[in-house]
Copies of this chain bind each other. A is one copy, B any other.
Amino acid sequence: MSDTSGSTAPAGASAPAPLISTIDGDVPDGLLDAFDAYEAALAANDQEALADAFEDSPGSLRADGNGLLVGHEAITAFRGRRGVAPSRSVVQRHIRVLDDGAALVVSVNAPASGGRGVVTQLWRRSAADGTWRIAVAQVQAPTPVFDTRIWRVVGAPLVPSSADSAAADALIDGLGSADDESVPGPLTGETVAVKDLFAVAGHRVGAGVPSFLSEQDPAPFHSPAVQALLDAGASILGIAQTDEFAFSIAGRNSAYGTPPNGVVPGAISGGSTSGPASAVALGHVSIGLGTDTGGSIRVPASYQGLWGLRTTHGVVRRTDVLPLAPTFDTVGWLTRSASLLGAVASATLTGVSASAVPQQRPVESSFVVDPRLLSSLSEGVRDAFEGFLGASIESGLIDAPAEVALGDIAHLYELFRVIQAAEAWQSHGAWIEAHPGALAPDVSARFEFGRSVTPSQESAARDELEVQREHLEHVLADRILLLPSASSAAPSLTATPAEFDRIRSNTLGLTCIAGVGGLPAVSAPLLEVPAGPVGLCLVGPRGGDLALVEVAAALAA
C-alpha cells in the first residue's frame, strides 16, 4: 500500500484541498478517469451520465441514509426525484484493486455546505464495452441537524417528565437534593413525538402550516393528552409534523416535505400523524402522540409497520388540541411494540389525569369480517389478509370470523366525507379565506368541498349518521371487526395525484367505519405484501380500547 499524502484539509480554506490517498494494488487503466467523470456528472447533475455510470442490472445497489435501492431502475428513479446534489470536492481517495477489472474506491468529500461525506463504490469494467461502471455504492452525506420533514422543534428533551420537573422545583425550593430519586412511572424513560396539533406549554401550535404557526402565541398549558404522558414519566422530545391541518392520510406536506417512510425507502409516510409515525419507525422516540379523524393513526401505522391505537371517540379529552372535524376527531398513539402501546393507553385512560373518562370495558375475542370491505384492495393485500386469517384459524389462535354486512360502504364513506369536510371548513374556513394559497392544492380542494356543503345537506347527513351508527352497533354486537388498515402498502413518493386520490378513497372506505361508529381501532403490523408492511386493523366496541390492544397483541404472538 502506498500513502501519497498525509494532511487534512481545513474546511473553508480557499486553496484546493490536498488529497489523502492510499492505494492497494496497481490501479487499472481508466478507473480514475471514470471516478473523476462521475464526480463531474454529479456536479453538473447530468442525469444521463449518472444513469450510465451504474451497471444497467437488476443487481445494482445504491444505499444512503434513506435506505437501500436494489436495481438500476430504482436507482435511476431516485435520481430523477432528488434534484441537484450540493457541490463537493473530493479530499480523500482510497483505492483497493481487486483485479484488472474490479476495484473498490472509498472517498471522502467536503461539500461546499459543510461537513464531510463518505462514498464507497465497487467499480467494474464492462466486458461488453470496456467502460468502468459502478455495481454497488454506499453514500454517506453529512447528517443534517435534524429532519424538518419529521420534526418542527426538538430538545434534549423539549419537556422533561413531570417527575423530573418536580425534582428541579424541589431543588429550587430547598425541599430536596440532587440525590433524590423519584418514583418511576409506567412510562419512565420513554420519549414522545407530539403531533403539531397539541398544545405544549411554551410552544405554538403549527398544524403543518408555517403561515398559521407564525401567527400563534405560545400555549400556556399542556393539552391533557400531553400532560398524561408527562405525568406517567415520559418526556417530550419534540413537536412533530402533520399534514396541513391534518386533512390528509398521505403524510405529504407542501411546506415541510414528506417525512421519510422508516421501512420502505422512497415511499410516503402515511398521515396525518406523519411526523410522529416516522419518528417512531426510525427510532427517534418510542411513542408518537397523534390524532385520528379518518385514519390518521391507522394509516401511518400500516405504512410503517407500527402499532397504532385510535381511541374511542370522546374517551381522551381534546382540550387544547386543534380540531379538524370534532364529530370524528380522536386522540391516538403509535409505538413499535404492542406492550408499550398498551402501557401508553393505560396510563392515559386510567391515570389520574383522566378521571373524567368513561370506564373501560372488557372485549371478547370474537371476530367478524365483511367481504364487501375487501373489494378495493391493492395487489396482494386481500391475499395477505385472508392468508393471515387462514393461518390463525388453522393454528387455533382464533375461531373462523363470522361474516357480517355492515351496509353500503360507499354510502358510509360519503356520509363521513360530507360531515368531515363541513366541520373542517367550520374549524378553519375563516383562516383559509384570509390566507389564499397557504395550502397544498389537494388539501385546499377538500376544504373547498367543505365550504360547498349546505346546511341542509349537513343536517341530512347527520341524521343519517345516527341511523348508520345504530346499524353498525347492532351488526357488530360487541364483536371485533377485522380488516386491513389500508388498501395498499405505502405508495411511492412518485405516485401521480390521480393515484394518490384513488388510494386515499380506497383506504378511507376501510378506515371510515371506525370514524362513523366512533369506535376504537388498533392497527397491528401483522400483514405484508411485496411493496411493504400493511396493518391488520381491529375495530372494537366503544370503551374497549385497552382490551382491544390486548386482543391484538395476542394475535401477534
Interface residues of A (CB under 8 A from B): 1, 3, 6-14, 20, 22, 24, 57-59, 61, 63-65, 67-68, 70, 92, 94, 96, 98-99, 102, 104, 106, 108, 111, 113-116, 118, 120, 122, 135-136, 138, 140, 142-148, 150-156, 158, 160, 164-165, 167-168, 171-172, 178, 202, 211, 214-215, 218, 237-238, 256, 262-264, 279-285, 304-307, 335-337, 435-438, 525-526, 528-533, 556-557
Contact = CB atoms under 8 A, between A and B. Distances in A.
Nearest to A214: B168
A306 B11 contact: yes
A12 B288 CA distance: 14
Contact of A104 (B104, B113, B171): B104
Contacts of A533: 8-11, 13
Contacts of A111: 283
Given A12-B307, A138-B140, 7 more contacts: A61-B94, A67-B116, A68-B106, A114-B336, A140-B140, A144-B284, A151-B156
Contacts of A114: 262, 280-284, 336
Nearest to A167: B214
For this chain, the copies found in one complex come to: 2
A214 B159 CA distance: 10
A96 B145 contact: no
Given A10-B305, A114-B281, A153 B158 contact: yes
A96 B122 contact: yes
Contact of A525 (B11, B64, B279, B556): B11
27 contacts: A6-B530, A8-B530, A8-B533, A9-B305, A11-B525, A12-B306, A13-B533, A14-B556, A22-B70, A63-B106, A63-B120, A68-B94, A70-B94, A104-B104, A114-B281, A118-B138, A120-B136, A120-B138, A122-B122, A143-B282, A145-B146, A145-B154, A145-B238, A154-B154, A160-B214, A168-B211, A178-B211
A115 B171 contact: no
Contact of A10 (B64, B65, B525): B525
Contact of A143 (B8, B96, B147): B147
